[in-house]
Amino acid sequence: MAIFKPVKTPCIGVCSTGIGDAVCRGCKRFSHEVIDWNAYDHDQRLVIAQRLESFLSQVVRNHIEIVDPKLLHQQLTLQQIRFNPDQDPHCWVFELLRAGASQIHNPAHFGVRVLPPGDAVSLAQLRDLIDREYYELSCAYYDRYISPGFSTDESR
């Protein structure tokens, strides 16, 4: 019998599906995923978590280079910033920005470098831009593959 590490809910307590959004502005899950989360089995939750991780790391990668992943991990641990060590380190960067973008004066101290043109704005503005692009990517996926009724089942 295989033992799986449970997939935690991506919920961050800022749900917009209750006001009619098809994609939650907080966790970026689709409304039906938010509603049905507790009924999903491990594999269903894992597919959702992997999609969210992929989208977030893609967006962060467009704005931030990880120069030293060990330093990033060390600083997140030292600063007691919650992150999932099993995720792509670009997701860790987003957790760092969420926790303290306005308090970080030198991203190099965390093992990261902001790429142009993001280096021309504050880290708080960059965090908001990343969050917006992450939401837009989730919405685009929803509009293309979920809303029209297409199946995302790769076994077809």
Q: Is there a contact between 138 and 55 (Cβ–Cβ < 8 Å)?
A: yes
Q: Which pLDDT does position 155 carry in this prediction?
A: 37
The 10 Å Cβ neighbour count of residue 91 is 19
Give residue-wise pLDDT tens across range 13-62: 999 998 899 999 999 999 999 999 999 999 999 999 999 999 999 999 99
pTM of the full structure: 0.90
Q: Is 121 helix (H, G, I), strand (E, B) or coil?
A: coil
Sorted by sequence, the CB contacts under 8 Å of residue 60 that are 6+ apart come out as 90, 91, 93, 94, 130
Q: Which pLDDT does position 9 carry in this prediction?
A: 92
* Residue in this structure with the two tokens 């969050």, named with its chain if needed: 131
Give residue-wise pLDDT tens across range 104-151: 999 999 999 999 999 999 999 999 999 999 999 999 999 999 987 755
Q: Which pLDDT does position 18 carry in this prediction?
A: 85
> What is the Cα gyration radius of the chain?
17
How confident is residue 156, by pLDDT bands cut at 50, 70 and 90? very low
How confident is residue 3, by pLDDT bands cut at 50, 70 and 90? low
**In this structure, what token pair is assigned to residue 128?**
């908001």
Q: Which pLDDT does position 2 carry in this prediction?
A: 58
